Copies of this chain bind each other. A is one copy, B any other.
Amino acid sequence: MWTFNDFPSGVVKQEYGADITPGWLDRVRQATVRLSNCTASFVSSTGLMLTNQHCVAACLDQHSGGGRSLLDDGFLARSRGAELSCGAQLADVLLETRNITEQVRAAGRGLSEQAASEARKQTLSRLEQACEQDRARTRTGAPLKCETVALYDGGQYWLYRYRRYTDVRLVFAPERDIAAFGGDPDNFRFPRWSLDFALLRAYQANGKPAQTPDYFEINPAGPDAGQLVFVSGHPGATERMLTVSELETLRDVDLPGWLLRAAELRGRYIQFGKSSREAQRMVEAPLESLENAIKVHRVELEALLDETLLRRKRQEEAALRTRIAADPALARSVGDPWATIAKAQQVERALSLPYTFLEEGAGFNSRLFNYARLLVRAAKERTKPSVQRLREYGDPALPRLEQQLGAALPVHPELEKLTLSFSLERMRERLGADEPLVRTLLAHDTPDSLATRLIEGSKLADPAVRLQLWNGGAEAVARSEDPMIDLARRVDPAAREIRKRYEAEVEAPVSGAEQKIGQARFRLLGTSVPPDATFTLRLNFGTVQGWRENGEQIEPFTHLRRLFERDTGEEPFRVPPSWLAAKDALDPDSKFDLSTNNDIVGGNSGSPLIAADGRLVGLVFDGNLHSIASSFEFDPQLDRAVAVHPAIMLEALRTVYNATELLKELGWQ
């Protein structure tokens, strides 16, 4: 997960004989797009963007309703005018990066630790603001977005300048049955047959399509097995720098606790969904995201339970400590941050249950409760100076909070009762019926009866009511008789108390110690290893590869023929009618999905897979099961990225969807 600034072109040249020039890097950078939580890439000079269907689900949903579901049915704009605006979707293109480490360091020099941290923060804000005001530098006059980025736990600071497109429109998406063929059972599996692709278009402020001379030509032939391929995108977050004691806390406490709760909630959702067609629709989205998270965390737990991973981590940790010890000055300045972290882990374990249930909301799983807590806390926090508030209520955050409160998101009372009753019941089980808050809340109630009364009695599903309380401030919130506001008021003292302890005794020492380790590591290793993922632009290289599983070789390509063989006629293995109708016209030997050993992680969804010749040869949408554990450590033997093959995209647009105009724009006709 290399940054474009420190990409090891020399290694690529040496190992594969490919020339990755600065010009190649610039073109790839400018053709790669950051969406809200995915990656996309330009595939025409007029702003057409390729990404995953699952990355545009919110836009499809936005245009559904009244019996029509674009998620189910797919969408094709047969003309520019028919393209559908994707409300909240942004598209950012990284224009420039500037190393500001020296400026940030200088700001804190000679000051106390606390004052230095404050001075650094101010410097970062100042640099961001100055950068954004510099509008003149974009050719199109599109708004600029500037963000500072800390790499290597503060070993480096950078200023990233993006061109931001705020007008993004939906051009094409296939039906969900083919985009997500295989559903949860196939999620993170390979061999795979998912057509997880969609097309968007970026528009300029003047309503004209963006001019994007740097775009990827798509090569429908795709790559060969073993061929060198690159992934350019925005890996979200990795945890490869966690210490062994932190990994052990994840393994022993966080992951098992989360998984047990999530598995039960999954069961409740599924059973609820069987009660009616409407219930089925209600749980669809939350169940899908829950099942994805369960798979991720289950495999993470399995990886941590496999002693080989932790053994390697122990060895790495010991090796780094040995290198630090060999430099007495460094050793003195670093101290023993591992011991600090290990000690804090003991506190984290002890606080885990009350912190998770009371403060992190595992005891109050409800949208209405979240609104209520936000209102109750904001009312109190806004009476203080910004810097003294809980961090999520600082002045810069307030507009977004107000926007959240005002947004008319659907609230399903039956689902709210389900999740709230479930979480109250588990809180009572894990904290005990005699825990003071539990005892008070359930003094004359079952979890069910309390949840029912709260959800049926609360008016917070109405954005107007929420905004009234927001605008009314502390007084309005104190006077409110809304039962959910009342619950949030009652929970708040205990929740704040445990949070205070958690921040003071876990977060603060851990984050300070992590920075010390990160900076020492950076001092010793520099940019010879890539920094942890931060949802900023990265590039990596790999090859088209299957892998060996239980002594069997998994081939890196799948073919269309097998899709039809796997059709059960029932979700999630149902080939949609459009494909059944086109079956005879389709080439059964067409390649469908492929696997590569590129190092990817969530956020890379929608990333272009690029050949050394600069052409796009695949669209990353998933990884194999093993790749989930790459959060902790990338294993090139087993971890695989999974991509849609360009051949099947061409087949789909041409033979199934007859998308003539798009084919022309993509140079395919």
Give Cα A260–Cα B298 distance, bound, in whole angstroms: 9
Q: From residue A266, how far is it (CB to closest CB) to chain B in Å?
A: 5
Query: Which residues of chain B come closer than 8 Å to A269, judged between CB atoms?
Result: 267
Q: Is A206 an interface residue (CB 8 A)?
A: no
Do the beta carbons of A185 and B428 come within 8 Å of each other?
yes
Query: Which residues of chain B come closer than 8 Å to A568, judged between CB atoms?
Result: 442-446
Query: Which residues of chain B come closer than 8 Å to A647, judged between CB atoms?
Result: none
Q: Is A270 an interface residue (CB 8 A)?
A: yes
Do the beta carbons of B256 and A263 come within 8 Å of each other?
no
Query: Which residues of chain B come closer than 8 Å to A256, judged between CB atoms?
Result: 256, 259, 301-302, 305
Do the beta carbons of B570 and A445 come within 8 Å of each other?
yes
Q: Is A252 an interface residue (CB 8 A)?
A: yes
Please give me the residue from chain B that is nearest to A433 by CB atom.
B185
Q: Is A306 an interface residue (CB 8 A)?
A: yes
Q: Is A432 an interface residue (CB 8 A)?
A: yes
Give Cα A422–Cα B266 distance, bound, in whole angstroms: 11
Q: Is A541 an interface residue (CB 8 A)?
A: no
Contact of A432 among B189, B265, B432 (CB under 8 A): B189
Query: Which residues of chain B come closer than 8 Å to A267, judged between CB atoms?
Result: 263-271, 422
Give Cα A264–Cα B260 distance, bound, in whole angstroms: 8
Tell me the A235-289 residues at the B interface (CB within 8 Å): 248, 251-252, 256, 259-261, 263-272, 274-275
CB-CB under 8 A for A573 and B433, given A268-B268, A428-B185, A445-B568:
yes
Q: Which 5 A-B pairs have the closest CB atoms?
A: A267-B267, A271-B271, A263-B263, A264-B267, A267-B268
- C-beta contact mask, A562-581 vs B, less than 8 Å → 1, else 0? 00001011110100000000
Q: Is A661 an interface residue (CB 8 A)?
A: no
Q: Is A532 an interface residue (CB 8 A)?
A: no
Do the beta carbons of B271 and A350 come within 8 Å of each other?
no
Do the beta carbons of B306 and A182 come within 8 Å of each other?
no
Q: From residue A573, how far is it (CB to closest CB) to chain B in Å?
A: 7
Contact of A260 among B185, B263, B566 (CB under 8 A): B263
Query: Which residues of chain B come closer than 8 Å to A259, judged between CB atoms?
Result: 256, 260, 263
Most chain B beta-carbon contacts within 10 A, residue among A189, A274, A550: A274
Please give me the residue from chain B that is nearest to A275 by CB atom.
B275
Most chain B beta-carbon contacts within 10 A, residue among A270, A432, A550: A270
- C-beta contact mask, A407-436 vs B, less than 8 Å → 1, else 0? 000000000001000100000110011100
Give Cα A184–Cα B425 distance, bound, in whole angstroms: 10
Give Cα A433–Cα B573 distance, bound, in whole angstroms: 9
Do the beta carbons of B350 and A550 come within 8 Å of each other?
yes
Do the beta carbons of B305 and A570 come within 8 Å of each other?
no
Give Cα A362–Cα B251 distance, bound, in whole angstroms: 25
Q: Is A217 an interface residue (CB 8 A)?
A: no
Do the beta carbons of B446 and A571 come within 8 Å of each other?
yes
Q: From residue A426, how far is it (CB to closest CB) to chain B in Å?
A: 10
- C-beta contact mask, A462-499 vs B, less than 8 Å → 1, else 0? 00000000000000000000000000000000000000
Do the beta carbons of A252 and B306 come within 8 Å of each other?
yes
Tell me the A168-207 residues at the B interface (CB within 8 Å): 182, 184-186, 189, 191
Do the beta carbons of A184 and B429 come within 8 Å of each other?
yes
Query: Which residues of chain B come closer than 8 Å to A252, judged between CB atoms?
Result: 302, 305-306
Q: With contacts A185-B432, A252-B302 known, what are 18 further pairs, Cβ within 8 A?
A: A185-B428, A191-B434, A260-B298, A267-B268, A268-B271, A270-B422, A271-B271, A271-B418, A275-B275, A350-B550, A434-B566, A442-B568, A444-B568, A444-B569, A445-B568, A446-B568, A446-B571, A449-B570
Do the beta carbons of A305 and B251 come within 8 Å of each other?
yes
Give Cα A428–Cα B573 distance, bound, in whole angstroms: 12
Q: From residue A622, how far is it (CB to closest CB) to chain B in Å?
A: 15
- C-beta contact mask, A31-52 vs B, less than 8 Å → 1, else 0? 0000000000000000000000
- C-beta contact mask, A364-402 vs B, less than 8 Å → 1, else 0? 000000000000000000000000000000000000000
Give Cα A413–Cα B137 distance, bound, in whole angstroms: 70
Query: Which residues of chain B come closer than 8 Å to A429, judged between CB atoms?
Result: 184-185
Q: From residue A189, how far is it (CB to closest CB) to chain B in Å?
A: 6
Please give me the residue from chain B that is nearest to A568 by CB atom.
B444
Give Cα A31–Cα B22 distance, bound, in whole angstroms: 89
- C-beta contact mask, A527-564 vs B, less than 8 Å → 1, else 0? 00000000000000000000000100000000000000
Give Cα A268–Cα B298 distance, bound, in whole angstroms: 20
Q: From residue A405, how far is it (CB to closest CB) to chain B in Å?
A: 30
Most chain B beta-carbon contacts within 10 A, residue among A251, A305, A422: A305
Contact of A270 among B268, B305, B350, B569 (CB under 8 A): B268
Give Cα A570–Cα B428 distance, bound, in whole angstroms: 14
Please give me the residue from chain B that is nearest to A187 by CB atom.
B429
Give Cα A446–Cα B624 distance, bound, in whole angstroms: 24
Give Cα A264–Cα B307 distance, bound, in whole angstroms: 27
Q: From residue A346, how far is it (CB to closest CB) to chain B in Å?
A: 12
Query: Which residues of chain B come closer than 8 Å to A248, judged between CB atoms?
Result: 307
Please give me the residue from chain B that is nearest to A449 by CB atom.
B570
Tell me the A295-341 residues at the B interface (CB within 8 Å): 298, 301-302, 305-307
Give Cα A448–Cα B259 distance, bound, in whole angstroms: 24
Q: From residue A564, how far is it (CB to closest CB) to chain B in Å?
A: 13
Query: Which residues of chain B come closer than 8 Å to A268, judged between CB atoms?
Result: 267-268, 270-271
18 A-B pairs with CB atoms under 8 Å apart are: A184-B429, A185-B429, A185-B432, A185-B433, A251-B305, A252-B302, A256-B259, A256-B305, A259-B263, A264-B270, A265-B267, A266-B267, A267-B422, A271-B271, A275-B275, A433-B573, A446-B570, A446-B571
Q: From residue A273, how far is it (CB to closest CB) to chain B in Å?
A: 9
Give Cα A449–Cα B266 distance, bound, in whole angstroms: 19
